Amino acid sequence: MAESTPRLIVLDGHAMNPGDLNWAPLQALVQCEIHPRTAAEKVVGVCATATAVLTNKVVLDASTLNALPALRYIGVTATGVNVIDLAAASARGITVTNVPAYSTQSVAQATFAHILNLTQRTARHAVSVREGHWAQCPDFSYSLTPQIELAGKTIGLLGLGNIGLAVANIAAAFGMRVLASTPSKVGTTVDGIPVIPLADLLPQSDIISLHCPLAANNHQLINANVLAQLKAGAFLINTSRGPLLDEAAVADALISGQLGGAGLDVLSAEPPPQDCPLYRAPNCFISPHNAWATRESRQRLIDVAVANFATFLSGTPQNVVSMPVQPRS
């Protein structure tokens, strides 16, 4: 970078670090201004003299980038980079980096938190006991919901990247049969997992779990037609991207019983509107997009984000997703 005193703005640092982690390694690198959140209409003003920004969910589109002539670097503090207009960034001489694979184990763990909630409803039973129902029960044991054993059940994974493979390993430890569907690998075996067409996977799966990135060709991948092909009463898990689901169709499938339950960590709009159709659906358990947010995962995220920026400053950037068409002086 040509600037003698680069200036970095963190646009939305609260989700990554609500106060339990340390920004000092980043602050040691550069003059740094950390905002917990930044409203869209304030981005240009906040970043007017910034040479670098870190963003997680704050959108930096072409018009915003065109209004920030000093900007040389964008560090996305996530794996997905859909919040950045990469073509505009490249044309303006801005390097963009991301943070891959920082949350693999945390998201895999959260996937099974949803699966175990659907199969055993431990929290519901704990509330029942606290309310005195066990004390009043004539038997030593009771169940408010079916208790379902995972051993021998089939889990169908849509996507077989880092997180999908981590989920597969946990499923195997539970004694589950694992199948996968990912278009580029159909007909192959990955780490012993058969990769088959989606139409073959759906009727065989007791649980469907999504672990694929959002792309133009898979928006609302899980729709009424797909849901109708599932084994009746199957469970749906989505810790990937909200727009992969047709949420109205999922709600209808839960109401009809075609779906036995859903565990969702992501929705198509976040925060969701009050009229989200999933609110009216039975056996639908929604967590607030925090599968990634263990302390350990967030620490890895900060560590890699700092390293990304440090390598950019040194002239050898890592985890680059977009490079300038022409280096800026």
∠ CA 238-218-268, nearest 5°, is 50
Q: Does 296 qualify as catalytic in the annotation?
A: no
- Choosing from 3, 131, 149, 270, which is the catalytic residue? 270
CA 96, CA 84: separation in Å to the nearest integer? 9
Q: Does 41 qualify as catalytic in the annotation?
A: no
Q: Does 114 qualify as catalytic in the annotation?
A: no
- 162: its two tokens: 């880092």
CB 328 within 8 A of CB 72: yes
208: nearest Cα among 246, 181, 243: 181
- Choosing from 35, 121, 289, 298, which is the catalytic residue? 289
CB 96 within 8 A of CB 74: yes
- Choosing from 92, 241, 298, 300, which is the catalytic residue? 241
Q: Which residues are catalytic?
A: 241, 270, 289
